[in-house]
Amino acid sequence: MFRSVSISRSSTGTRRSGRGFTLAEILVTLAIIAVMAAVLLPALNQQIAKGDTGRLASDLTNIQSAAQAFVSDVHRYPAHLSQLTTAVGTDGLNATGTTTAIPAALLSKWKGPYLSRDVSTTGGGGSILPDFYAVSSSLTVAVSSSSASSDFASLEAVLDEGSTGATSSTGAVRMSGSNMVLFLALPIQ
């Protein structure tokens, strides 16, 4: 039940108990922790990056749904991201993709906000640009990022489930230059 501890005298005459850790035991423990950290950190960073892509894909589909609701209510396409979160301004995109005035009768039909939170920043250090564009007869959301080319393949796999080549010109996700990803959210009719 009780453990016996031997107490011995060192050469200086003080008493020393057998409790505590030796320097070798502490160094071995630190080495094991360092090896575990070296193995786990890359996997952790990869999972965090997957979460960034997932969040961006979710934000883009939320913008797509919000734009569809906006078009259903106002009968015009939004020209700016802010039109989905705050009361609509006086301009929108028409069927040709040019900015036109929204008649007052249609402005009163705005039933937003269509987005419940700010989606202008992405998890990967990029940002969703505040203006919408007309590309290939579609309402287009642009995402700028310094690592757009590396994010493109994973984003295209999530949203398009298509080819992951960096030169894709089909599907809803397209590369534009070296630091811009375009998401074709809605066809402009």
Predicted confidence at residue 26, as pLDDT, reads 95
pLDDT tens-digit readout, 39-88: 998 888 777 766 677 778 888 888 888 888 888 888 888 888 888 887 76
CA nearest to 175, candidates 187, 154, 186, 98:
154
Task: Find where tokens 């039933």 sit.
Answer: 111
b/e map 153-163, b = 16+ CB within 10 Å? bbbbebbbeee
Q: Let me know: does 125 contact 145? Beta carbons within 8 Å.
A: yes
- pLDDT over 70 percentage in the chain: 66
The yes-or-no verdict on residue 172 having pLDDT over 70 is yes
The residue to which tokens 């015009």 are assigned = 76
Q: What is the pTM of this model?
A: 0.63
Cis check: omega of the bond before 113, within 30 degrees of 0: yes
Among 79, 89, 85, which Cα is nearest to 118's?
A: 85
Which residues, 6+ apart, have CB-to-CB distance to 42 below 8 Å? none
SS3 of residue 82 by DSSP: helix
For residues 81 and 93, give the distance between their C-alpha atoms in angstroms, rounded to a whole number.
12
98-to-46, 54, 135, 161, 168 alpha-carbon distances in Å: 41, 31, 11, 30, 25
> Highest-confidence range of 36-40, 116-120, 161-165, 177-181, by mean pLDDT?
36-40
Cα–Cα distance between 127 and 19 in angstroms, integer?
57
Is residue 71 within 8 A of residue 133, CB to CB? The reply is no
What is the tens place of the pLDDT at every residue in 24-47?
A: 999 999 999 999 999 998 888 777
Average pLDDT, the chain: 75
Least confident of 2-16, 91-105, 112-126: 2-16
Q: Looking at per-residue confidence, does 155 or 35 come out higher?
A: 35
**DSSP notation for 18-78:** S-S--HHHHHHHHHHHHHHHHHHHHHHHHHHHHHHHHHHHHHHHHHHHHHHHHHHHHSSEE
